[in-house]
């Protein structure tokens, strides 16, 4: 029986940047890009969301 490690996998800033660029510029979904890269879709969504927030692209009050 195989057990998953309790340790979180760490990704470099460059890897995250490139993954986010793939989401933004490809016609693939976040889930498809995540699968292609071998990361969880939840992690990739979080990276994209954080990048948008950092750039001020989040929800705006009207």
- pLDDT at site 62: 53
- pLDDT at site 61: 59
Find the domain containing 46 and state its range. 13-54
- Whether 30 is covered by a domain: the verdict is yes
Is the pLDDT at 37 greater than 80, yes or no?
yes
On average, the pLDDT of the chain sits at 88
- Whether 59 is covered by a domain: the verdict is no
- Whether 23 is covered by a domain: the verdict is yes
pLDDT band at 9 (very low <50, low <70, confident <90, very high): confident
Q: Using one digit for the tens of pLDDT, what is the confidence trace for 19-35? A: 999 999 999 999 999 99
Structurally, the chain folds into a number of domains equal to 1
Over 1-62, what HEC string results? CCCCCCCCCCCCHHHHHHHHHHHHHCCCCHHHHHHHHCCCHHHHHHHHHHHHHHCCCCCCCC
- Whether 7 is covered by a domain: the verdict is no
- Whether 6 is covered by a domain: the verdict is no
- Whether 27 is covered by a domain: the verdict is yes
């Amino acid at each position: 029986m195989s057990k998953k490690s309790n340790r979180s996998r760490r990704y470099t800033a460059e890897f995250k940047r490139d993954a986010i660029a793939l989401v933004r510029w490809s016609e693939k979904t976040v889930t498809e890009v995540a699968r292609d890269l071998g990361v969880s879709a939840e992690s990739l969504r979080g990276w994209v969301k954080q990048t948008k927030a950092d750039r001020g692209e989040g929800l705006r009050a009207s």
